[in-house]
Amino acid sequence: MPSDTVEKILTSAEKQARTGGYNGFSFREIAKEIGIKSASIHYHFPTKADLATELTKRYTQRFEAILSEIGNNHTTLHSKLQAYANLFYEAAKEKGNMCLCGLFTAEIDILPDTVSRELKVFFQSHEKWLTAQLIEHKAAIPEGQTPQKMALQIIANMEGAMLLTKAFDSQTCFNDAIDLSAFASL
Amino acid sequence: MPSDTVEKILTSAEKQARTGGYNGFSFREIAKEIGIKSASIHYHFPTKADLATELTKRYTQRFEAILSEIGNNHTTLHSKLQAYANLFYEAAKEKGNMCLCGLFTAEIDILPDTVSRELKVFFQSHEKWLTAQLIEHKAAIPEGQTPQKMALQIIANMEGAMLLTKAFDSQTCFNDAIDLSAFASL
DNA sequence: GTCTATAATTTGATAGAC
DNA sequence: GTCTATCAAATTATAGAC
């Protein structure tokens, strides 16, 4: 049962981390934003590694909950993948919002081990979900492809599209960079 | 005509920036690595913004030179795109090497304007080159697609694949996440 | 061009009062 | 749980000697 303060800390930290990465958020900046002192944050999260780890876990869990929901509320594969893409699109639309795990992964070599482990969980979770959907809906697997590879291609497409949205500072860019046409008939 | 020291500075800075982003490289760390004092770096690059801007320009120009080369030395579209993908693959293979412009773009909101402008140049340059290749080789443009959109999809695929390579810490992951099969016959 | 020395700021973190 | 006070370290940057 996370307290109100913990929730505020995580929300503020996530916003900053998704803008500037691991070195882009600080105890002092979070404290300033939510109106407490930085020492108080250390009471809830002893070290920055603790905070970043919790941040990543929370982000992953939020995605997993929605993936499960999409699995239940959509009937066709194409509709599921559109809903999946829309998750990233909604984040990209708001100015300054990169995928937390995408940004953290780009700088994974300088992150605490507890964070990098969670990053793998995030992407494995997505890979597993996408693979299961492709199999369930009997997607055609072209020569040289596997459901796992196709899942990775979809994830790469999402993360890359978010990046280009930021590069060109254009929301329409996200949809232009996404291609789900291979699943249009399922 | 860049001096030897300037070259060393840029090489060291790029390595660090591609690992930890804009806040992941510092004058002192660069100085330590190449055996000079941090004050000497300020002689060549007055501010960190100056250094980062030059870093990004140099990275972009290196890519542009190779893209031009690929255009001349390959005959088929598929071969050109494979060579293009191989550019990113070679970088991803070496541990700790994300695309400089990919990482910088993820944190574009905290970067100096002179850097973010150069990041747009990088991606526009790639988009332009890819679009030209698709048109030159008369690639089939499916319903709802344009050469520009397909170019963006290819770029997104590359950047996303580099990210997944880091996430899973697996070189084979890059090729799994890349799909150029739509151009196999050209 | 490179150095020493140093300023000004920010950072993660701790001790102890309340 | 939150505060004040403080520390040690790292950061970008500048002045001036050589």
Which of B108, B83, B93 is closest to B161 using CA atoms?
B93
**Chain B contact present for A182, CB below 8 A:** no
pLDDT for res A137: 96
Q: Convert the pLDDT of each residue in B16-60 to its tens digit.
A: 999 999 999 999 999 999 999 999 999 999 999 999 999 999 999
**A152 in reach of chain B (CB within 8 A):** yes
pLDDT reported for residue A3: 87
* SS3 label, residue A136: helix
A168 touches chain B (CB under 8 A): yes
∠ CA B183-A151-B92 to the nearest 5 degrees? Answer: 70
Residue A46, pLDDT above cutoff 90: yes
How much is the average pLDDT of B56-67? Answer: 98
Beta carbon pairs, A and B, within 8 Å? 157
User: CB-CB: which of A23, A153, A177 is closest to B179?
Assistant: A153
Smallest CA–CA distance from A102 into chain B, residue:
B163
Taking the model in full, what pTM does it have?
0.97
Q: What pLDDT is recorded for position A62?
A: 97
Query: Using 50, 70 and 90 to split pLDDT, how confident is the model at B94?
Result: confident
Residue B119 above 80 pLDDT? yes
Question: Looking at residues A28-43, what average pLDDT do you find?
Answer: 98
Task: Give the 3-state secondary structure of residue A15.
Answer: helix
Of A105, A159, A173, the CB nearest to B152: A173
Compute the Cα dihedral for B56, B57, B58, B62 and give only its sign.
positive
Cβ distance B149 to A176 less than 8 Å, yes or no, reads: yes
Closest residue (CA to C1') to nucleotide D3 in the complex: A37
Chain B residues inside the 8 Å CB shell of A148: 176
Specify whether the CB–CB gap between B20 and A110 falls below 8 A. Answer: yes
Element housing A164 (H / E): helix A147-168
| Average pLDDT of every residue of chain B | 96
Report how far residue B140's alpha carbon sits from residue A181's, in angstroms, rounded to the nearest whole number.
Answer: 14
Which of B15, B149, B164, B183 would you mutate first to test chain A, the one with the most A CBs within 10 A? Answer: B164
- If pLDDT is split at 50, 70 and 90, which confidence band does A95 have? confident
**Is residue A96's pLDDT more than 80?**
no
Q: Nearest-CA residue of chain B relative to A21?
A: B107
Q: What pLDDT score was predicted for residue B56?
A: 98
pLDDT of residue A111: 98
Query: What is the rounded distance in angstroms from the CA atom of residue B30 to the CA atom of residue A124?
Result: 35
* Strand C: positions under 7 A of a protein C-beta atom: 1-5, 10-16
Partner-chain residue, chosen from A109, A143, A160, that has the shortest CB–CB distance to B156: A160
pLDDT confidence band for A68 (50 / 70 / 90)? very high
CB contact under 8 A, A176 and B21: no
Residue A94 touches chain B, beta carbons under 8 Å:
no
Cα torsion at B87, B92, B95, B97 (round to 10°)?
A: 80
Q: Convert the pLDDT of each residue in A125-168 to its tens digit.
A: 999 999 999 999 999 999 999 999 999 999 999 999 999 999 99
CA distance B24 to B18: 8
Position A2 scores a pLDDT of: 72
Of the pLDDT bands very low, low, confident and very high (cuts 50, 70, 90), residue B96 is low
Tell me, in Å, how far CA of A108 is from C1' of D12? 25
Which one, of A76, A88, A82, lies nearest residue A139 by Cα?
A76
pLDDT single digits (tens) B142-173: 999 999 999 999 999 999 999 999 999 999 99
Nearest Cα of chain A lies from the Cα of B168 at a distance, in angstroms, of 6
Residues with CB under 7 A from strand C: A 25-29, 38-39, 42, 46-49; B 3, 5, 31, 35-40, 43-44
Determine the nucleotide nearest to B50 by Cα–C1' distance: D12
